[in-house]
Amino acid sequence: MSAQIIDGKKISDEIREEIRRETAALKERGVQPGLAVVLVGEDPASQVYVRNKAKACEDLGFYSEVHRLPAETSQSELLGMIDRLNRQGNINGILVQLPLPKHIEEKAVIDAISVEKDVDGFHPVSVGNLMIGDDSLLPCTPAGVIELLKRTGQSPSGKHAVVIGRSNIVGKPVSMLLLRENATVTMTHSRTPDLPKVARQADILVVAVGVAKLVKRDWVKPGAVVIDVGMNRLPDGKLCGDVDFGDAAEAAGWITPVPGGVGPMTITMLMSNTLKAAKRANGIDR
């Protein structure tokens, strides 16, 4: 293997330390960031993520509330809870854990969260602000990708970035963020002809398609930075990314592992957004 590993856990820990320090200073001014996490149903993976979010809040000195609602909760009951949290003064961020049960319309729920408290960055106004370059709360996983690049000294500026996948939660926003960071961005998807050839042109290759081990060594330009946002559960229970790590690492200059790459950044960027929302709510600039 020739590639250097981008250690998402280590970088995430460094950022958390910065957040912890800033939170302590903020508390001396009487401001404590507060996050409300809402979980509907008993999806096992979601339960783990929600627990980890509450733990991160405790660890960093945030106030937090976790609302665990039964799977049968109606959409209007959930919207009622969001309405209450929107008006609750000690809550700066509201996160509704996804996926939601099928009888609840995700869009209606996201639209109901007040933009100032949209720490997931999924609200249409947050998405619009990202598109036009206004300051907004950025979606956590895409923001985590940019942090990983910057903190490994791999600034996107002037580079050719190829993004594989066009989802609303990763592919599209990460493309916009790379563009904002002055990369030349190519967005690709399942109908892009000769995807390996396009991928091979990338200085920075970001993969978020949900196909286990899709990206092989011959998709990677020698020395390129490969960021794997995929999280696929294999039949043996093991987690793997959208990149065939062992193979692609033979060509890449830098590469993220799964687990331990992009994943740990998601909750850390959520904490960063909550801190930012708390500062804004109290008229304190970053």
x/- track of binding to ligand LMY7XDAE for residues 29-68 (CB under 6 A): --------------------x-------------------
Binding residues for ligand LMY7XDAE restricted to 94-113, rule: CB under 6 A? 95-98
3-state secondary structure of 225: strand
Applying CB under 6 A, the span of 24-32, 82-90, 218-226, 258-266 interacting with ligand LMY7XDAE comes to 258-266
Q: Which of 60, 127, 263, 273 binds Mg ion (CB under 5 A)?
A: 263
3-state secondary structure of 47: helix
Q: 12 and 264 in contact (C-beta within 8 Å)?
A: yes
Note if the bond before 44 is cis, omega within 30 degrees: no
Q: Which of 155, 260, 280, 281 binds ligand LMY7XDAE (CB under 6 A)?
A: 260
Does residue 263 belong to the site contacting ligand LMY7XDAE (CB under 6 A)?
yes
Q: 76 and 40 in contact (C-beta within 8 Å)?
A: no
Rounded Cα distance between 252 and 162, Å, is 14
**Has 136 been labeled as part of a binding site?**
no
Q: Which of 145, 209, 258, 270 binds Mg ion (CB under 5 A)?
A: 258
Q: 268 and 56 in contact (C-beta within 8 Å)?
A: yes
Query: How many residues make contact with ligand LMY7XDAE (CB under 6 A)?
Result: 17
Rounded Cα distance between 56 and 62, Å, is 8
β-pair partners for 188: 164
Quick check: is 134 catalytic?
Answer: no
Phi, psi of 193 (to 5 degrees): -70, 145
The residues carrying an active-site annotation are 53, 97, 120
Positions in the binding site for ligand LMY7XDAE (CB under 6 A): 49, 95-98, 120, 140-141, 231, 239, 258-260, 263-264, 266-267
